[in-house]
Amino acid sequence: MISATGVSWHYGTNPVIDAVTVTARPGRVLGLIGPNGSGKTTLLRLLYGALHSRTGQVRVDDDELSTLTPREAARRLAVVVQETGGETALTVAELVLLGRGPHLSTFQRTGRVDHEIAARALARVGGSHLAARAFTQLSGGERQRVLIARALAQQATHLLLDEPTNHLDIRYQHEILHLVRHLGTCSVVVLHDLNLAARYCDDLVLLGSGGVVAAGTTDEVLDPVLLEPVYGIGIRRLDLDGAIHLLFQPVDQTTEERIAA
């Protein structure tokens, strides 16, 4: 479980996240949703320790995140972010193998088991054929799959992903999120696509204006009454065959009046 209580972050004098409390539960996928600038990525960074809130605290299971050593944190938290650095001389196989680092002592070299775990992780994202390729030669979608494979090789109990479907075509968007959904880990994922969130997230946190607008199960949060004022667009929800589908429409005067009401 990952829990944040009363965490905040300001860029200059601008409060991006203000006294936010969220909980990601074991074995479930928590989606962070909201419009651009609502603080989704900032909150994710607070949850894995890339940013440190001056208020509140973040806990991983029973431990405060700030008390964990970097190695201990890496054994529990695997992170996939959008900014990759990118300019590395490593092959794909070598990059995925880096995920084994938290499980090795300072001077220990990777062994057969580590290579097998890394190879299986790459296979799970459909990237085995990329193993010998240089990471810099990959497309954006291929790079994303490789970075997720590295996180899987880490075998952490918590997985945090910032827009993991970015640059992926429709097939791999669904394959990656299906994989995340069935890992059995405590997962937190930032998503812009609300229909992907509807399909693959168990719980959602809707962010807007620096705070949590709504939090709960996917069924509870994906309510047009909650979503329309935050996104500023007309939304119609359809529940078909046990699945939620959202339809969007430009805001005309009638819709705008309804959203404001």
State both tokens at 39.
């603080």
Residue 15 clears pLDDT 60, i.e. is over it: yes
**Confidence category of residue 255, pLDDT binned at 50, 70, 90:** low
Residue 41 backbone phi and psi in degrees, to 5: -70, -35
**Confidence category of residue 105, pLDDT binned at 50, 70, 90:** confident
**Confidence category of residue 207, pLDDT binned at 50, 70, 90:** very high
User: How many Å apart are CA 256 and CA 22, to the nearest integer?
Assistant: 30
Among residues of the chain, what percentage have pLDDT more than 90? 69
pTM of the model: 0.88
Dump pLDDT digits (tens) for 126-140: 899 999 999 999 988
**Confidence category of residue 186, pLDDT binned at 50, 70, 90:** very high
Phi-psi region of 27 (alpha: psi -120 to 50; beta: other; left: phi over 0): left
Residue 189 backbone phi and psi in degrees, to 5: -135, 130
Dump pLDDT digits (tens) for 20-44: 999 999 999 999 999 998 999 999 9
Outline where DSSP puts E strands in the chain. Answer: 2-11, 14-24, 29-33, 57-60, 63-64, 77-80, 158-162, 186-190, 203-208, 211-217, 234-240, 243-249
The pLDDT of residue 192 is 94
**Confidence category of residue 163, pLDDT binned at 50, 70, 90:** very high
Residue 87 clears pLDDT 70, i.e. is over it: no
Residue type, 230: V
Looking at residue 110, the DSSP 8-state letter turns out to be P
- Please report, for the chain, the start and end positions of each structural domain, with discontinuous segments joined by +: 2-217, 223-261
The pLDDT of residue 12 is 82
Give me the mean pLDDT over the 62-89 stretch: 85
For residue 254, give the 3-state DSSP assignment.
helix
> Would you identify the CATH topology of the domain 2-217?
Rossmann fold (3.40.50)
